[in-house]
Amino acid sequence: MISIADLAMNYGKKTLFEKSSVTFNPGKSYGLVGANGSGKSTLLRLIAGEEKPNSGTISVPRDLKLGVLRQDHFQYENIKVIDVVLLGKPALCEALREKEKILESENLDSQSGHRLGQLEEMIAEADGYVAEPFAAEVLSGLGIGTGFHTGPMSALSGGFKLRVLLAQLLFQQPDVLLLDEPTNHLDIVSIRWLENYLCTQFEGTLIFISHDRNFLNVVASYIIDIDYEELRLYTGNYEQFLEAKTLAETQKRKEIENYERKTAELQAFVDRFRAKATKARQAQSRVKQLDKMEVPEVKRSSRISPDLSFEQF
């Protein structure tokens, strides 16, 4: 479980969020939405430990394995595509290499045999004997044809290299998956495959950003809205979030209208009867009511016309 408490983050005079708290529970899927520049990517970096908040705490258990999509696809140019995916589990790759080296050796002794047994156990625990078929399945699901699996990364375009890196991340099967616009560079068939994989096969916690409305509706079980300088959790997918936020905006607008109407009525009574001796006590009572009335808190939305449309996120 990842817990955020009293989080505050700003860049200079621009406040992204303040005094915000939210909990990410195991096995759940959270879609982050908000206007451009509202702090969605910043929140992912904060969770990943790549940035530090101005105040507040982000509690991530030490043994929790975080998976973050890196944009360093050019470092693998001379490596086979499927091997790049397998590198998602470095310890497994190292164990497989060491095992192969021992088996190729002409001088096997009892020490080598003992080490071989240890490696076999390590490989089995990491599902190493189904690793390559699984890696191939993920690559194919993301639209990388089998003919490219054993070729070098340099044979792929930039967009397809990013698909390979996404495959590498999915192959890791981390406890928490952090994805920033995962459907970028994917065609509709690959997007549908990714939706199905995340909904039916991935067992960890998913925290993602997407501008794909359908993807949010299919994958997200919760929406975290970054607006009004705070993080607010909504249960359900994107459509359910829209309904809930529209209702909340309507209720807030009515609260403000009721406040303005009530204060106007009280002030009008005071202005009219304050000077009259027979009404002075009542007028003073109205003044006290005015003093006690709480002004509804109104923060500035980061969206354009937030009470008219929430589709710009």
What is the tens place of the pLDDT at every residue in 103-138? 877 777 778 788 888 888 888 887 778 889 999 999
Residue 29 within any structural domain of the chain: yes
**In this structure, are 148 and 192 located in the same domain?**
no
**In this structure, are 52 and 195 located in the same domain?**
yes
CATH of the domain at 208: 3.40.50.300
* Confidence band, pLDDT 50/70/90 cuts, at residue 296: low
* Whole-angstrom distance, CA of residue 92 vs CA of residue 157: 28
Residue 135 within any structural domain of the chain: yes
pTM over 0.75: yes
Strand order in the sheet with 55-59: 14-24, 2-11, 55-59
pLDDT at 276 over 90: no
Q: Which residues pair with 226 in a beta bridge?
A: 34, 231
- DSSP summary character for residue 152: B
**In this structure, are 124 and 50 located in the same domain?**
no
CA contacts within 13 A on the Cβ side of 240: 15
Domains contained in the chain, number: 3
* Whole-angstrom distance, CA of residue 100 vs CA of residue 263: 81
Length of the chain: 313
Range of the domain at 120: 75-166
* Confidence band, pLDDT 50/70/90 cuts, at residue 280: low
* Whole-angstrom distance, CA of residue 92 vs CA of residue 55: 39
* Confidence band, pLDDT 50/70/90 cuts, at residue 192: very high
**In this structure, are 206 and 252 located in the same domain?**
no
CA distances from 8 to 15, 51, 301 (A): 8, 12, 17
Candidates 77, 95, 258; CA nearest to 157 is: 77
How high is the pLDDT of residue 295? 63
- Give the pairing type, strands 176-180 and 2-11: unpaired
**In this structure, are 187 and 119 located in the same domain?**
no
pLDDT at 92 over 60: yes
Residue 34 within any structural domain of the chain: yes
How high is the pLDDT of residue 82? 94
* Confidence band, pLDDT 50/70/90 cuts, at residue 313: very low
**In this structure, are 56 and 99 located in the same domain?**
no
Per the model's pLDDT, the better-predicted residue between 246 and 154 turns out to be 154
Q: What does the angle CA 85 – CA 129 – CA 171 come to, to the nearest 5 degrees?
A: 25
How high is the pLDDT of residue 303? 61
pLDDT digits (tens, 9 = 90+) for 214-266: 999 999 999 999 988 889 999 999 999 999 988 888 887 887 888 778 878 77
Which positions ≥6 away from 34 have C-beta within 8 Å?
40, 225, 226, 227, 302, 303, 313
Residue 305 within any structural domain of the chain: no
pLDDT digits (tens, 9 = 90+) for 233-244: 999 999 999 999
Residue 306 within any structural domain of the chain: no
Residue 303 within any structural domain of the chain: no
Q: What is the 3-state secondary structure (H, E, C) of 90-110?
A: HHHHHHHHHHHHHHHCCCCCH
CA contacts within 13 A on the Cβ side of 16: 22
How high is the pLDDT of residue 297? 64
